[in-house]
Structure 1
């Protein structure tokens, strides 16, 4: 104990010494008369505003000051240190250049700080927040070749809005402005705020765009402030149209003709193929209802544009329908570029034609994918996928996808009679850009709803054990309410698993192990599935959120009609195959926090339960939960963990990868940081497990109980991510720190960690190589 204490003392002393050296050594690189700028502080002297308002004003003012001092970590400036200790590189590339100018950071000196300019910024910002009498001074404090600037602000009293007037006149545009004033952002009693005034101008502009004023702009609005008509620091606001507003901005436009060019190409325009605008007689041959589709080669059915476009002849222009039409055209998935132009056709009647210039994507594409993998059981494998996509299958923007694949996993360097795995299969999907149903489905979303039909087959052969034939089919709908909310409903989702060539060897090795025997059970799973996704992760926020909930109901109506009850009677069959009956729900919740442009925190919680009843006493193996692997608990290999405290080491080697459960709980946390351009690092902790609802022979400790928390596995590690834009190559090195199948009370493994032991490293360090982030 004493020797460890001495080691800790030495470590702390060395760390402190290193910190002191780095901190002090930066100033020794300064030239005579130079001082390192360490930042600025704003002090506010005002007794009339609250502490909260003072704190908010102080933070805003400090944020606007320039330049920013050199970055610090725990009070140190390592980036500046790397810059200082690296000599000037001879070339603008190479390791030395990267170390000095990319990893390193040039010193920010006091001479770089324009204190008068910052003082003006402080006064202007304060005035924009209603402190019209703000005064600022500054003072410089220096010591040991370091300097900081203290800015003292005396903002005075903040001016409040006493009255808001919307100036009236007889013009049509002014009448519409008057209709918008009830929802004004400018409220009596609120502080004068330039940002709020700008937001009010934008609000009026947006409102007018909805009423046909296409050429109007927020700059056409002026808000006049008068602080002389009221006492006690009050200001009156007058909202009016600028005197020099262009006449075109005050006119209300409606749609004359809607013209679509679905094969638009800029190169053909240069050759004179497109002449815009076209005369009415020329357009007549392309008329479809209220639109004109210029498609001489008939590559697209005109009705797809009738569904996607919200503008019709005679409609008053509004921005909502403008944006909806563009977004729906893009979401069809068949156009690479979408351009919209409005050209005045009748200036007296205030009408314009709406042109849609659409550049198609490549109609067909063929993609070949290959990947390799290995695992700790000396298995190596490869997979080959060939994918073909047609984006306009029936000339109605239908997407047809077909794929064939083959894969194998073979034991390398092992015995010749190893149980190798071979897989092959094919699947097809037809995605129709509308809801195909006996009922009418109307969506005002910017996203086109889709009907998806899929068929698939997979052949699995585990040599010397069994062969499985898997057939899948589904029919359903996908639609989005908006950019955040998406629904995916499969009205019918069918899976048929048919075993063949089950060997005596397999039956012998799984004797007394029903969980493994179920792998080769005949299974018929059918019923609806529904998932709902909500996310705002695409928005530029500090905190973002993702949620996906999935509900899977199998065999419920059939089980009710047939009166199936496996506890009282034999399983009911359909065409000689017992059908599964269960209810399954899964929730995936993710939270992201952005510390800075280069650092962020990501977390995930997954909770799910699958309950068998009626015609089933167990959940089908293919629909159970699994944990472990590169996108789950990374310290444990895929499907080797659980259920509960069951020890997978007691199983034959080939079956240690097939652990499943009916209940799943998983938690992940990850700190991510960018080091340099494409190079990112991470530190993570994963925890979780799966459990069984009913007792299963051969799975001792696998049933869910009140002690489930003691059976949670924990892993931790570090990762390296190479972000090449088109893909992210991820390497995560993890180790278990809590193993649920160890003896209770002895499951934490911190005291067993020994990086210097080769045997320990082989058994505990797990390298995951994957594409993309885990969550």
Structure 2
């Protein structure tokens, strides 16, 4: 076959699409905006453009490592903010200027000026005295009681910079902390919280810590029954007269604290309204006379019995006669919301007898049945397709909060450009049924979480895939497992058992001929039977938007037939290979790791990075992972400079059939991938990105039909590298992404010729056709 491989393909990526004209139009338009004439000529007479506000720390009393974060903290307070810049230019200001004065509140010019554009920020808009006081106040709040702030303005070519010089002097530290409370029940409760105080002797004075301390004490008191207490009932007095730059802190309960806030409360009656609807009269409270008592603890107002009593009673953390605690309060609400059956969940605490509270839970159900239809368009490189999903849901199927779902789907994908091959188009259809219980169904008492509602999920499905000119596949699957959240950042997905069965059908004569010529293609149509547990753990704190650094981690372990294969004594290398339903069962251990890091550079710019690793170890009854479990490389969410499944394994050269037919079916048992992407806002809904991707896949064992494919100590030399740029259109409900990428390192080229920087030639149409990969996708790649 070597003589049929076109030599030019080794200088680029096989079968890449032609660049889209629209992309170049957009790129040229953006460049035009960025390089257009200066915005200064649009400034009013006598005005200067405010381009920068900066803070200089003038002190030798602060350790060097603290000066930079303090400077950033102070500069973030300055108002107003200068116009947005990109590479030193102000495209939004330029669009505002060229839009002129719109004739009405509608139309393109108004949209360009007021929605996309940004009015000039002038020096006259800056109130230096206000900013000085703001900075001085902030410095005092972090312990610099004698701070001084001055400011100065410099103007260069009508561009103004305001510099604020801050002189903090010596920071004040905490000398003593006194909980100055009386001997009342409330005073003793406050005093008992002192061991966990955030205010520690020797630490710098900080107003934020004082506020946090009041909230900490309030939270602890809430867990001791003080329902009506709040942080405003506490005061912390500061005495700075002791000298030597030290302060004494005195924590007290205010004298005007209401009597209700000074008493702990217990729970009286608990009322549950499972089928509550909002009326013009608002929430209508029940009483024991018109409610049904369940197990002597909970009153149900549900004459139609829409829910089984136990299904809601087990979610209640309050019991009559118990002390009120905020922890039980939040847990109950979280469990009710986590059921997934209610549109609104509201609770109300009402004074009952002395120091007692009645609790009312108003639960407004979602529609019991729902039908949803989705029509999706998909594109990646030269592949285009569509998919239709019809989803029917029945909430509360058995009156205990169960969710019954039936899904029918169908779709197709076809190659409309580039070089057509036998895998160029396919269609598929299938159906899936799932039943989710909002509790754990197990033969033993297991409660992995008390804060969130766990789910037991049964799922089964069937799919038919038809690659019209090659083969078709029938696949069936069944799984049973549990989903639960440990806390807001940690989630677990345990499939106790997943069974998958894949059987090929209708292998065409043309594809059969290919199997004789290119043996690796046979793996895609081998009958497959897998069964075993799968566990996935996810950790993320990306919802902490106030943090500069956030992370996402997902780790997965997939096992198949490990114990069964050992019992049977399977050994494929020695000819002892066994079947289930006419398919060799797969015996393997597979590990997936996905780590992502997000660093917020500015309010509108982020550096996102990802590292992925996958390892599959086949043994006993198998020598390679089943095709559907293998890793692949490339595509719009991976190495974007290479089309999906076209890269690897290792330094193996992709197979061609004839001059133009290429099989995008490269898979492996081991995977490494690294990505980093700079993301920034361009204007309005338009964002842009620069990215670099690297990685490859490898086989666990040598394959004589794929030289260079096995993982070895030289794997670093077989890493592919690509880079590119793209636009993202953030429509709030979805992100439309376009990427244009090119390879920088091609691992299947001869050693010493894999870096291709010297071959980049954007003027060469043939180079562009073979190397530029355009992707249109939904959502961010990671």
Does structure 2 conserve the Cα–Cα contact (< 8 Å) formed by 1:512 and 1:698?
A: no
SS of the residue aligned with 1:622?
helix
**Structure 1 residues 437, 635: CA separation in 2 closer, same or farther (over 3 Å shift)?**
same
Identify which of 639, 656, 664 aligns with 2:645. 639
Identify which of 614, 622, 625 aligns with 2:628. 622
Aligned to 1:457: 462
Aligned to 2:101: 88
Aligned to 1:673: 680
Aligned to 1:12: none
**Structure 1 residues 93, 603: CA separation in 2 closer, same or farther (over 3 Å shift)?**
farther
Higher relative contact order (CA 8 A, sep 6+): 2
Identify which of 190, 212, 218 aligns with 2:203. 190
Q: Is 1:701 aligned to residue 713 of structure 2?
A: no
**Structure 1 residues 62, 553: CA separation in 2 closer, same or farther (over 3 Å shift)?**
closer
Aligned to 1:242: 254
Aligned to 1:729: 736
SS of the residue aligned with 1:176?
helix
**Structure 1 residues 732, 345: CA separation in 2 closer, same or farther (over 3 Å shift)?**
same
**Structure 1 residues 579, 289: CA separation in 2 closer, same or farther (over 3 Å shift)?**
farther
Q: Is 1:716 aligned to residue 734 of structure 2?
A: no
Aligned to 2:78: 65
**Structure 1 residues 487, 155: CA separation in 2 closer, same or farther (over 3 Å shift)?**
closer
Q: Tell me the distance in 2 between the aligned counterparts of 1:20 and 1:399.
A: 53
Q: Tell me the distance in 2 between the aligned counterparts of 1:451 and 1:435.
A: 5
Q: State the Cα distance separating 1:78 from its structure 2 match.
A: 5.0
Q: Deviations over 1:466-490 (max 9, x none)?
A: 3322111111111111111111111
Q: Tell me the distance in 1 between the aligned counterparts of 2:211 and 2:471.
A: 71
Report the more deviating stretch, 81-90 or 314-323. 81-90
Q: Tell me the distance in 2 between the aligned counterparts of 1:525 and 1:495.
A: 5
Does structure 1 conserve the Cα–Cα contact (< 8 Å) formed by 2:384 and 2:413?
A: yes
Q: How many residues align?
A: 748
Q: Deviations over 1:212-239 (max 9, x none)?
A: 11111111101112233x2323322111
Q: Tell me the distance in 2 between the aligned counterparts of 1:524 and 1:147.
A: 71
Q: Deviations over 1:101-125 (max 9, x none)?
A: 4554333333323233333333333
TM-score (norm. length: structure 2): 0.89
Q: Tell me the distance in 1 between the aligned counterparts of 2:201 and 2:378.
A: 67
Identify which of 257, 265, 273 aligns with 2:277. 265
Aligned to 2:284: 275
Q: Tell me the distance in 2 between the aligned counterparts of 1:728 and 1:321.
A: 39
**Structure 1 residues 747, 50: CA separation in 2 closer, same or farther (over 3 Å shift)?**
closer
**Structure 1 residues 648, 237: CA separation in 2 closer, same or farther (over 3 Å shift)?**
same
Identify which of 175, 188, 198 aligns with 1:162. 175
Q: Tell me the distance in 2 between the aligned counterparts of 1:726 and 1:409.
A: 25
Q: Is 1:591 aligned to residue 603 of structure 2?
A: no
Question: For residues 71-150 of structure 1, what are the structure 2 equivalents within 5 Å?
Answer: 71-73=84-86, 76-84=89-97, 86-142=99-155, 144-150=157-163
Q: Tell me the distance in 2 between the aligned counterparts of 1:721 and 1:74.
A: 18
SS of the residue aligned with 1:299?
coil
Does structure 1 conserve the Cα–Cα contact (< 8 Å) formed by 2:86 and 2:682?
A: no
Gaps of 5+ in 1: 1-17
Q: Tell me the distance in 2 between the aligned counterparts of 1:417 and 1:44.
A: 67
Aligned to 2:692: 685
Q: Is 1:351 aligned to residue 364 of structure 2?
A: no
Aligned to 2:393: 389
Report the more deviating stretch, 649-658 or 663-672. 649-658
Q: State the Cα distance separating 1:461 from its structure 2 match.
A: 3.1
Q: Tell me the distance in 1 between the aligned counterparts of 2:481 and 2:505.
A: 31
**Structure 1 residues 488, 509: CA separation in 2 closer, same or farther (over 3 Å shift)?**
same
SS of the residue aligned with 1:458?
strand
Q: Deviations over 1:585-614 (max 9, x none)?
A: 111111111122322121211111111111
Q: State the Cα distance separating 1:153 from its structure 2 match.
A: 4.4
**Structure 1 residues 83, 260: CA separation in 2 closer, same or farther (over 3 Å shift)?**
same
Report the more deviating stretch, 186-195 or 114-123. 114-123
Aligned to 2:336: 329
Q: State the Cα distance separating 1:77 from its structure 2 match.
A: 4.7
**Structure 1 residues 394, 114: CA separation in 2 closer, same or farther (over 3 Å shift)?**
same
Q: Deviations over 1:432-466 (max 9, x none)?
A: 11111111112444221111111111123334643
**Structure 1 residues 311, 525: CA separation in 2 closer, same or farther (over 3 Å shift)?**
same
**Structure 1 residues 58, 292: CA separation in 2 closer, same or farther (over 3 Å shift)?**
same
**Structure 1 residues 296, 116: CA separation in 2 closer, same or farther (over 3 Å shift)?**
same
Report the more deviating stretch, 734-743 or 527-536. 734-743
Does structure 1 conserve the Cα–Cα contact (< 8 Å) formed by 2:290 and 2:301?
A: no
Does structure 1 conserve the Cα–Cα contact (< 8 Å) formed by 2:618 and 2:625?
A: yes
Q: Tell me the distance in 1 between the aligned counterparts of 2:351 and 2:281.
A: 24
TM-score (norm. length: structure 1): 0.89
SS of the residue aligned with 2:304?
coil
Aligned to 1:772: 779
Gaps of 5+ in 2: 1-31
SS of the residue aligned with 1:446?
coil
Q: State the Cα distance separating 1:683 from its structure 2 match.
A: 2.2
Q: Tell me the distance in 1 between the aligned counterparts of 2:89 and 2:429.
A: 57
Q: Deviations over 1:402-457 (max 9, x none)?
A: 11222344677999999863422211111111111111112444221111111111
Does structure 2 conserve the Cα–Cα contact (< 8 Å) formed by 1:134 and 1:154?
A: yes
Identify which of 417, 420, 424 aligns with 2:429. 424
**Structure 1 residues 287, 36: CA separation in 2 closer, same or farther (over 3 Å shift)?**
same
Question: For residues 481-630 of structure 1, what are the structure 2 equivalents within 5 Å?
Answer: 481-511=486-516, 513-540=518-545, 541-630=547-636
Q: Is 1:232 aligned to residue 241 of structure 2?
A: no
SS of the residue aligned with 2:192?
helix
**Structure 1 residues 48, 681: CA separation in 2 closer, same or farther (over 3 Å shift)?**
closer
SS of the residue aligned with 1:688?
strand
Q: Deviations over 1:32-51 (max 9, x none)?
A: 54344444444555554444
Q: State the Cα distance separating 1:751 from its structure 2 match.
A: 3.2
Q: Tell me the distance in 1 between the aligned counterparts of 2:395 and 2:727.
A: 37
Does structure 2 conserve the Cα–Cα contact (< 8 Å) formed by 1:329 and 1:338?
A: yes
